Amino acid sequence: MSFQQALSGLNAAAKNLDVIGHNIANSGTAGFKSSRTEFAEAMASAAGSASGQTVGIGVDVGAVSQQFKQGNINATGNNLDVAINGDGFFVLRQPDGSMAYSRAGNFQLDKQGNLVTIARDQVMGYPVDPATGKVQTGVQPVPMSFPSGQPIAARATAKVEVDLNLDARAHNAVGDPTATPPIPATPRATYGTSLTVYDSQGIGTPMSMYFEKNGANSWDVYDGLGDASATPPVVANKLTTLVFDAAGKLVSGSPVTNATIQTNNPNSPTPGSITGMNIDFSGVTQFGTKFAVSDLKQDGYTAGVMTGINIGGDGSIVASYSNGVSRAEGMLTLASFRNPQGLAATGGNKWVETSDSGLAVSGLPKTGTLGTLQAGALEDSNVDLTAELVNMMTAQRAYQSSAQAIKTQDQVFSTLVNLR
């Protein structure tokens, strides 16, 4: 008589209780994936043994498999928290340089400005070309780093966009003294607006634009008022002439290329001016309503230091600077595997790839089979506490039953020993 079957049942039930206890302990761990004990029947048979006469020798723990089902997504309001909804893992570089993968998106910045996990693993992503602002997906992912003490350089204004409406009811600027009643001249300052533009050293200068009607559906645009009484006389520079059709839509005069604007910075590369600027008037209309400015845009800025960082729902990492600029500095990378069950858990909510999992395939969120991201949120543990408590009671009963089987076999063995 053998105790092997009952002992194997005790060992299997104890292993199952270990797994259940681990799941319950991590029910509040962000990004945690529960595990399940897989059992397999143990058999021992001699060659040539008769079919139907083989007795099993107990149970083996075949595997402890992780359950990668989606956890609930819980909003946190933290601008560096991000949750994956769907397939994929965050890509991490560990201190030893090896790669790991995680579902926990509770990130933070260290004192060097690196985006890291709570275990200080660096979060990987695609860099952004500062010249074009486009994500460089054709390169290997790199650690996302944003040195907070390093300012961004000033950028000269290269493009200005103007959106406004010119009053179609306006009279020609020169007026008409012969009309009855006479029409007075319209001062150039009547229709004007301005915005601040920047030279290559980040010095801001007001850029004025004045609109003067010179005929039916035609307006001259000047960069100043001019002053004929000054010594010497100040002559405003005409930037362009805007011509509209009968429907009030612009038909010519835009864009203005290689415009030159006077600046207050005597040390600029071209002293006293900003050159090579393009002015887009395509948003200007001429309707029978009051002169009104809808929007003025320009792409220059002064130097600034980083004041904050946010992760967007598309994975973009947007940095805010003291000069009012907000721009994408990187894009989070996600990785997928052909067989996630083959990943090896290393602790700290991390897995590493193995030959069973296959190689990691990296990409942007919402591409291929990769899921989407939700900013300001974390994925909760996928542990179902109710189910785990039921499983614990079942495992406890299995353990007790195996112990009872050992006790019964011991009683039978004692009876045989005591036979006279």
Name the residue range of residue 113's domain.
73-145+334-379
Q: How many Å apart are CA 344 and CA 338, to the nearest integer?
A: 14
Does the residue 108 lie in any domain?
yes
Query: Where among 246, 271, 298 does a domain terminate?
Result: 298
Give the total number of structural domains in the chain: 3
SS3 401: helix
Highest mean pLDDT among 62-66, 110-114, 336-340: 336-340
- Judged by average pLDDT, the poorest of 52-66, 175-189, 218-232, 298-312 is 52-66
The pLDDT of residue 288 is above 80:
yes
Specify the pLDDT at position 135: 82
Residue 1 has pLDDT above 50, yes or no: no
Nearest alpha carbon to residue 317 among 309, 325, 308: 309
Q: Is residue 411 part of a domain?
A: yes
pLDDT above 70: percentage of residues in the chain: 94
**∠ at Cα 283 (278, 288), nearest 5°?**
135
Same domain, 291 and 195: yes
Residue 310 inside a domain? The answer is no
* Inside any domain, residue 410: yes
Give yes or no: residues 204 and 292 share one domain.
yes
Is residue 322 assigned to a domain? no
What's the gap between Cα 345 and its chain centre? Answer: 26
In a domain, 313, yes or no: no
Q: Is the pLDDT of residue 270 over 60?
A: no
Q: Between 152 and 266, whose confidence is greater? A: 152
Q: Residue 140: what residue type?
A: Q
pLDDT at 278 over 80: yes
User: Is 265 found in the same domain as 178?
Assistant: yes
Of residues 245 and 40, the one with the higher pLDDT is: 245
Q: Do 389 and 375 have their domain in common?
A: no
CATH number of the domain that 293 lies in? Answer: 2.60.98.20
Same domain, 228 and 131: no
Task: Let me know if residue 127 belongs to a domain.
Answer: yes
- Same domain, yes or no, for 293 and 163? yes
Whether residue 153 is contained in a domain is answered as no
Regarding whether 224 and 289 lie in a shared domain, the answer is: yes
Per-residue model confidence as pLDDT tens digits over 131-189: 777 888 878 899 998 876 677 888 889 999 999 999 999 999 999 888 888 899 999 99
Whether 369 and 389 map to the same domain: the answer is no
Is residue 107 very low, low, confident or very high in pLDDT (cuts 50, 70, 90)?
very high
Tokens of 99: 């790669």
> Which positions ≥6 away from 297 have C-beta within 8 Å?
160, 161
Predicted local confidence at residue 82, as pLDDT: 94
Q: Can you tell me whether residue 387 is helix, strand or coil?
A: helix
8 A C-beta contact, residue 284 and residue 243: no
Q: Are residues 256 and 209 in the same domain?
A: yes
Clarify whether residues 179 and 279 are in a common domain. Answer: yes
Q: Is 48 exposed, middle or buried (0-12, 13-18, 19+ CB in 10 A)?
A: exposed
Tell me whether the omega of the peptide bond preceding residue 232 falls within 30 degrees of 0, making it cis: yes
Asked if residue 274 and residue 165 are part of one domain, the reply reads: yes
Residues 173 and 282 in one domain: yes
